[in-house]
Each structure stands twice: as C-alpha cells, then as structure tokens.
Amino acid sequence: MNWSRNTAYARLYDISKTPGYIGIGYFHSENNKLIGFIVGNEEQWANYKTFYLNEICVLTSIQQTGVGTSLLTFLKELLVQRKVKEAYVSTERGQGKPARFLKRRVLSSINPVY
C-alpha cells in the first residue's frame, strides 16, 4: 500500500481527534526532526481502561537502533501511570516483522491482546 502525504495526514488527524488520544513522538537530538512516533487511544470500560495502539512508526533508515523500543517503554510507563489494564494492537501481516517486534516488547506489565 502506498501512502501519500495527504492520506497519511488524514489518517493521523482522524486518530488525533478520537477521544482518549495519546501521541508520543521521538525526535532527533541534533536537528529536532521527528524520527518515530506512536499514536493510539485510551478507552474506559466498566472496571478498567484499555489502550488501542493505532500506529507505531520509525524511519526505515534507523530501525533496529532502539527507537521503537524506547517509544514502547515510554508508552508502557505512561499507561501504567494512567492505570490502563490492557493494550490492543493489530499489525500489518506481510512478513510478520511488526508482530514479532511487538510480541517481544509490548507492554509486559499490561495485558497485551493481539
């Protein structure tokens, strides 16, 4: 699937307008450019909160350098503070690389649901 700048903007804009929106950016220390991000939504259920991870993105040129892990670690700490009990994620199928990454690292103290 090919994304244009307009369709990517529209997708992220829609996510950001959903109640419970959480967005975390990772910026390069030297030039302050965005190099990775996580966006999703917290939801209240009867007795607990959940989080749906809509997107996690890291520039291809810097993948496997710890940026994605850092984003997930920061998200986990934030969700624990907010008393979120479960995190949901769906991944693009393809070669299974995103699913393997998330299963190894996603929110170990929070119940991950795939």
CA distances from 36 to 13, 24, 49, 62, 84 (A): 16, 9, 25, 9, 23
The strands making up 111-113's β-sheet, listed across from edge to edge, are 21-27, 34-44, 49-58, 84-89, 111-113
Structural domain for 80, as ranges:
5-113
53: domain CATH number?
3.40.630.30
Phi, psi of 67 (to 5 degrees): -65, -50
- Tens digit of pLDDT for each residue in 9-68? 999 999 999 999 999 999 998 899 999 999 999 999 999 999 998 888 899 898 889 998
Tell me the C-alpha distance between 49 and 42, whole Å.
Answer: 7
Q: How many domains does the chain have?
A: 1
